[in-house]
Amino acid sequence: MSNIVAIVGRPNVGKSTFFNRLIQRREAIVDAVSGVTRDRHYGKSDWNGREFSLIDTGGYVKGSDDVFEAEIDKQVELAIDEADAIIFMVDVESGVTGMDEDVARLLRKVTKPVFLVVNKVDNGKRAEDAVEFYALGLGEYYTVASINGSGTGELLDALVEALPEKEEVIEEDLPRFAVVGRPNAGKSSFINALIGEDRYIVTDIAGTTRDAIDTKYNRFGFEFNLVDTAGIRRKSKVKEDLEFYSVMRSVRAIEHADVCLLVLDANRGFDGQVQNIFWLAERNRKGIVVLVNKWDLVEKDHKSVKEYERAIKKQMEPFTDVPVIFISALTKQRIFKAIETAVEVYKNRTKKIKTSQLNDIMLPLIERYPPPAYKGKFVKIKYIMQLPTPQPQFAFFCNLPQYVKDAYKRYLENKLRENFGFNGVPISVYMRKK
């Protein structure tokens, strides 16, 4: 179970640059995900073998500085509640500002590890200027220059040292299905409709700090753990509409799930916040089923379903091979279809294809439509195998892996989907040197 580290601070101190530097080092190791060029406010990083999830709170706030002042308090409160460690970033160029003092005031009460990081320190003069940040009362600070990475090593050494060791929970091998989505989309109603009892109403007991509530579900021959992110006690301080809130809540549930049931409100559609959660699940290579809830309340004509589904898939590109099911938790319409589909997606995610079958089907397709030549050099793919990973990953062995472009990898992915059926599951395609 990976730890969560939140980066907080006022706008323009360089949080995003720092965040990108940390996750790119990681993403460069595990081939970058093709086609996902959306805003990244969430990523994974590791240092000396310790993996952690990184959340850039700044990425969630739109608007001017004065709007930000109210928002930043909420974000810091949320980071304090949810993260295992906090990086508080300030900027040596502007010195200590009133907003920095506000954030420091909130952080001084915290028992979790807090790292004060002074950014933009790229020469000796600035290193001397950084001394004024002692005034924030957070003790020692770390100086870094996000732009070129200097100083980040010492900070990360201290950070991973301070992260609490997570106990590895030994769990039964039951598939885990997480119900995720923005607040008020109907996650709890969906779970209550499935289980047939309103057991989620009783979870609002002060001090319920469990990450997510698990229910063992056994009906119609399916057995799995249902993970509810809605049942987590709401922090009264955090306003419901805060985008950051749903994402922060979903991170842990998604990381430990096999399949994510993404519930969205039919009247709101596949909006930015739902997309954030969708890409979070996709980047974690989880199975995904999209459930359009409250479908009973939508004005429909004979083509509503098709058009609605087409609009959602447009937003999901390039990963469009995802089941979309129209449900009503209230009338229980198609809720069991939702579970059957999740079970199919789980089977797709754990499917193993024989190497001989893979080569028999894929090699002739590749021969018919080989990778385009690059600078007069021809790429020859000789052999394919599925890697022994928890989710579908395929290695294509060839003479010049560096010349195979994303567009051709997508072609290979589409052919794998057509021939072997991976509905609802992200596939990774790697080119390897023969």
Does the structure show a pLDDT above 50 at 200? no
For the chain, what is the mean pLDDT? 81
Q: Which residue has the higher pLDDT, 390 or 362?
A: 362
Best-predicted range by mean pLDDT among 30-39, 157-166, 250-259, 322-331?
322-331
Residue 49 has pLDDT above 90, yes or no: no
**In sequence order, what E strands does 243-306 have?**
259-265, 287-293
Say what the pLDDT of residue 233 is: 42
Q: Please, which pLDDT band fits residue 14 given cuts at 50, 70 and 90?
A: confident
Binding site, annotated residues: 9-16, 56-60, 119-122, 181-188, 228-232, 293-296
CATH 3.40.50.300-classified regions of the chain: 3-162, 176-350
pLDDT for 312 equals 93
Using 50, 70 and 90 to split pLDDT, how confident is the model at 107? Answer: very high
| pLDDT at 70 exceeding the cut of 90 | no
The CATH code for residues 3-162 is 3.40.50.300
pLDDT at 361: 95
- CATH 3.90.230.10 fits domain 176-350: no
Q: What share of the chain is helix, strand, coil (3-state, %, to 5)?
A: 40, 20, 40
Confidence at 427, pLDDT banded by 50, 70, 90 = very high
- CA-closest candidate to residue 5, choices 151, 152, 127: 152
Averaged pLDDT, 257-280: 88
CA dihedral sign, ordered 295, 300, 305, 308: negative
User: Residue ranges for the binding site for GTP?
Assistant: 9-16, 56-60, 119-122, 181-188, 228-232, 293-296
Mean pLDDT of 232-258: 63
What are the residue ranges of CATH 3.30.300.20 in the chain?
355-433
Q: In this predicted structure, which of 128-142, 193-207, 355-369, 418-432 has the lowest mean pLDDT? A: 193-207
Q: Given a cut of 50, is residue 37 above it in pLDDT?
A: no
Q: Which residue has the higher pLDDT, 255 or 242?
A: 255
The predicted model scores a pTM of 0.70
Is pLDDT of 25 > 60? Answer: no
Q: How many angstroms separate the Cα of 293 from the Cα of each of 38, 127, 158, 178, 328?
A: 25, 54, 45, 16, 5
Identify the CATH homologous superfamily for domain 355-433: K homology (KH) domain (3.30.300.20)
Distance CA 374, CA 34 (A): 19
Per-residue tokens: 270? 């596949």
